[in-house]
């Protein structure tokens, strides 16, 4: 007698085969998702690096001067930097191509302009007010082509569109500085007197320009003024004030910058309070230390960028400041035994240790407006 096979065994085998096929599809779908996700992440990294590098490239003294033909040349050079950074950040093993969009048209892969921060809208513009760069990278039909997926050979979802965007901008709403790690911040313990909130507003002299290759100033106008400030043993209205935040001598702080240890008594940072003011302890100057400070000013007259506080008032127990500006030291020279003058030229200092807060703009007469200090941020 011959016994036939159990139909139940055949059903189990069939169900197992169906289950295996289902798990295979799920596995392929997961791999496919990871493939597309990796592509998107790499594209986003390329877009972020490109937008940040582009703003970093045009945020310099040429932008601060704001005249042609320097501006156009500056923006053109910044576009070339953007294209390079995109290529240096590959996606799926290939360099990321970027159209420099020299016409600055919208939509475009690289757009320079002025950004409206609350609405995150960039207006295409290449002027002294330009403060942002927007990068758009698309893998769609007609632009780089869609991303070929792992499932392409099966005919199931053979390709997909990937689009990423990144906008970086230069934020001038500076409320202070926080040292990054052990690196000092280029902040001098000096507060400059200001006319209408701008220490450089009263200057009409433009006889020198900074020669970067030779790290010195040479004769010739460059669109940036020079202005003299006085430091004396007995501070008077209209003179610069010296403050102290650590046991170190202000001359040494000027030479090497302000460290986190210098700011322990202030919580490790320089930050305006809720009324956009900061009270700092005054430094009682001796004749010996006046000479030391003048010597330090002469030593830093090498083209380095330095941030100075903007003076609000001097009280018996405090130097009150209301913001910061950046400058290069041109020179320092004696007036008499009780005072010396130092000459500054404004510069655009882009500093990662800067603290910004756009919500402070309308508080207590607003933040001190400055085009000389900024921090580059990502919007999206």
Instruction: Quote the tokens at residue 245.
Output: 């935040």
When pLDDT is averaged across residues 60-65 and rounded to a whole number, the result is 96
Confidence bin at 316 (pLDDT 50/70/90): confident
When pLDDT is averaged across residues 19-26 and rounded to a whole number, the result is 59
215 pLDDT more than 60: yes
- Taking all residues of the chain, what is their mean pLDDT, rounded to a whole number? 86
Q: Which residues 6+ apart lie within 8 Å of 245 measured at CB?
A: 189, 258, 262, 263, 265, 266, 270, 280, 281
Confidence bin at 141 (pLDDT 50/70/90): very low
Instruction: From 306, 299, 305, 291, select the one nearest 331 (Cα to Cα).
Output: 299
Confidence bin at 236 (pLDDT 50/70/90): confident
241 pLDDT more than 50: yes
pTM for this model (two decimals) = 0.85
22 pLDDT more than 60: no
When pLDDT is averaged across residues 115-119 and rounded to a whole number, the result is 76
DSSP letters of 188-250?
A: EEEEE--BTTBTTTT--B--EEEETTTTEEEES--S--BEEEEEESS--TTS-EEB-SSSS-H
């Amino acid at each position: 007698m011959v016994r036939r096979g159990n139909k139940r065994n055949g059903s189990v085998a069939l169900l197992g085969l169906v289950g295996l096929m289902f798990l295979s599809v799920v596995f392929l779908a997961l791999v496919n998702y990871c493939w597309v996700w990796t592509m998107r992440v790499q594209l986003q990294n390329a877009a972020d690096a490109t937008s940040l590098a582009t703003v970093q490239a045009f945020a310099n003294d040429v932008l601060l001067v704001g005249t042609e033909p320097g501006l156009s040349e500056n923006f053109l050079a910044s576009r070339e930097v953007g294209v390079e950074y995109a290529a240096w950040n590959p996606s799926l093993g290939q360099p990321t191509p970027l159209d420099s969009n020299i016409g600055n048209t919208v939509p475009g892969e690289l757009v320079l302009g002025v950004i409206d921060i609350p609405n995150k809208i960039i207006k295409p513009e290449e002027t002294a007010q330009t403060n942002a760069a927007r990068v758009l990278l698309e893998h769609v039909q007609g632009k780089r082509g869609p991303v070929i997926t792992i499932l392409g050979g099966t005919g199931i979802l053979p390709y997909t569109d990937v689009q990423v965007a990144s906008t970086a901008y230069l934020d001038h709403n500076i409320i202070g500085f926080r040292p990054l790690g052990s690196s000092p911040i280029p902040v001098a313990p000096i507060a400059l007197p200001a006319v209408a909130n701008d220490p450089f507003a009263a200057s009409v002299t433009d006889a020198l320009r900074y020669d970067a290759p030779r790290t010195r100033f040479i004769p010739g106008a460059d669109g940036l003024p020079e202005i003299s400030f006085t430091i004396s043993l007995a501070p008077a209205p209209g003179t610069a004030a010296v403050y102290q935040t650590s046991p170190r001598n202000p001359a040494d702080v000027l030479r090497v910058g302000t460290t986190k240890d210098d700011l322990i008594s202030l919580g490790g940072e320089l930050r305006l309070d809720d009324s956009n003011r900061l009270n700092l302890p005054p430094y009682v100057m001796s004749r010996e230390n006046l000479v030391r400070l003048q010597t330090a000013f002469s030593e830093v007259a090498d083209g380095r960028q330095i941030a100075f506080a903007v003076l609000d008032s001097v009280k018996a127990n405090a130097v009150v400041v209301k913001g910061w500006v950046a400058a290069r030291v041109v020179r320092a020279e004696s007036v008499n035994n009780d005072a010396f003058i130092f000459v500054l030229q404004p510069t655009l200092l882009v500093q990662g240790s800067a603290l910004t807060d756009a919500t402070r703009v309308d508080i207590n007469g607003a933040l001190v407006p400055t085009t000389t200090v900024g921090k580059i941020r990502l919007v999206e």
